[in-house]
Amino acid sequence: MDLKYFDWAKHQALMRPNKVAIKDYNSGEQLTYLELEKRALKIAAYFQKKNIGNKDRVALLSRNNSIFFELQFACAKRGVILVPLNWRLTAPELSFILDDCDPKLLIFDSPFKGSVSSLNNSSKNMQRLEFDSSNINNEFSSVWESLDEDVDNIDASLEDLITIMYTSGTTGNPKGAKINHMMNLFNTINVCGPARITSRTRQLVILPLFHTGGLNMYANPVLHQGGQIIIMREFNPSDALDAIDNTRFSITHLFGVPAPLQFMMQDKKFDVTNFDALEVVGVGGAPCAEIIIKNWQRKNVDVIQGWGMTETSPTGTVLAAEDSVRKIGSAGKPALHTSIKIVDKNFSQVKSNDIGELLIKGPNITPGYWQNEDATNSSFQEGWLKTGDLAKQDEEGFIYIVDREKDMYISGGENVYPAEVENVLYQLDEISELAVIGIPDKKWGETGKLCVVLKKERNLTKEKIMDHCIKNLAKFKIPTAIEFMSALPRNATGKVLKRALKKEQ
């Protein structure tokens, strides 16, 4: 039996019409829940006028802006599928995605006009609609402002798609992960309890909204609960600390991957910022060095680690606040409506504390990839999603993400997990950021290379690094090459692009 999708925006507009739902940190613009619902209705009316309906796709190319949520709720009313685009991609990369999902409409922010004009996609019937997010009174809204709010809603089920999110394509062309209403609902259920998200929550959104971490950790759950989100157009550590310090916002929640949390704690404002209102800092998306967690914990906020991916909507595991100190470094236990197991290469479950691949199953898991049966079939085994992440589980059931399978390398027959080495090296105070990769070695097959960025006006010799490694790491784990760099290559969410570092070898 298909379960019906219920309209979150419509419900909150009825329950708390005058409460501010969304604030734009940069422009000062704000939307109440009633205004959010009315905008969604007018956009849905525009879709109806343009004959954009059930299962059609609409793409969005924009920096963080309330339009992501206006469009999302408008799409839900008409059965349309939203495709948020990574604005850091080149025109050829965007063209590939647009060819793959074949949208009827591309909505784009003015700064990306050049990229859009360079598109070479085969979607000949794709309409284009430009708006200017830097101007509150832009002409964009006039496209549908004159329309009434009468819309022939399409009754959606929880299994109907609401978004297609394209993965970063680390092993080839990006794949479009299918996200349905059920995934969004169960992600909300899975995350609201541990992160203590309520109608009183006020979250600062710092991750890009084209990414599941920005859209669903915790922005969508906050709106589901009737809370408030404060959106930053683009992350800046100093501005983020200013926002946390500002009593006008009284921010209670923050979520980030390790990189932005690291950059904030290295900012000179970190030690003078007032964190009294901040209750929860969530972190996920990549293994997090313990020094980052400890620095945020000393601000008397609960640092809640978790693990997930686009295909898991994204919450897969979560570490309860009461365990965050005792089990520092753990990704926690399976989320409420989620099952996990850790297996060896024969698909047999491993023993406690043994390392294997993390598998996951539940209503928060993607049904597959858009128009890509091969990728879908190869990603699942007996109903379990194969994550490609290496993990172990202790006797109490706590999960530790060891590393990505593709990042692990074998040196002299021994498995080396770069995240473990990186965690040790972050103990050196002179280091701002670093990454360890495997490189070919004639004697050992592979060995480690350390790519390191130092803090401003700090010095660190290779000899001191090696001495620290010798004292804290087994010999086969010690990098044999060290390169000092001005910066590490990162993607839009702040993850280090290790494949880019490997290409330079």
Identify the bridge partners of residue 176 per DSSP, sorted by sequence position: 166
Peptide bond into 426 cis (omega under 30): no
Task: Tell which residue, 229, 219, 224, 313, has the closest CA to residue 6.
Answer: 224
**Per-residue pLDDT averaged across 450-465, rounded?**
93
Q: Which token pair is 318? A: 């979560």
Q: Where are the domains of the chain?
A: 1-19+29-157, 407-503
Task: Tell which residue, 475, 501, 503, 477, has the closest CA to residue 490.
Answer: 501
**Per-residue pLDDT averaged across 398-425, rounded?**
84
Query: In angstroms, what CA-CA distances link 357 with 147, 292, 315, 488?
Result: 52, 26, 17, 27
pTM here? 0.88
Q: CA-to-CA distance for 343 and 355, rounded, in angstroms?
A: 8
Is-contact 72 47, C-beta < 8 A? no
Q: What are φ and ψ of residue 156, in 5° steps?
A: -100, 150
Residues 6+ away with beta carbon under 8 Å from 313: 179, 183, 184, 186, 187, 212, 216, 364, 365, 366
- What is the pLDDT at residue 288? 80
- What is the pLDDT at residue 407? 84
- What is the pLDDT at residue 91? 85
Q: CA-to-CA distance for 186 and 128, rounded, in angstroms?
A: 33
- What is the pLDDT at residue 88? 85
Do the domains 407-503 and 1-19+29-157 match in fold? Answer: no
Q: Which token pair is 22? A: 């969304």
- What is the pLDDT at residue 1? 60
Q: Is the pLDDT of residue 141 over 90?
A: no
**Per-residue pLDDT averaged across 176-205, rounded?**
97
User: Does residue 118 or residue 195 have the better pLDDT?
Assistant: 195
| CA angle (152, 156, 162) in 5-degree steps | 105
Query: Considering the domain 1-19+29-157 in this protein, what is its CATH number?
Result: 3.40.50.12780
Q: Is the pLDDT of residue 443 over 90?
A: no
Of the listed ranges 134-138, 331-335, 450-454, the one predicted with least confidence: 134-138
Is-contact 339 347, C-beta < 8 A? no
Q: Is the pLDDT of residue 124 over 70?
A: no
Q: Is the pLDDT of residue 321 over 90?
A: no
CATH architecture under which domain 407-503 falls: 2-Layer Sandwich (3.30)
Q: Is the pLDDT of residue 61 over 60?
A: yes
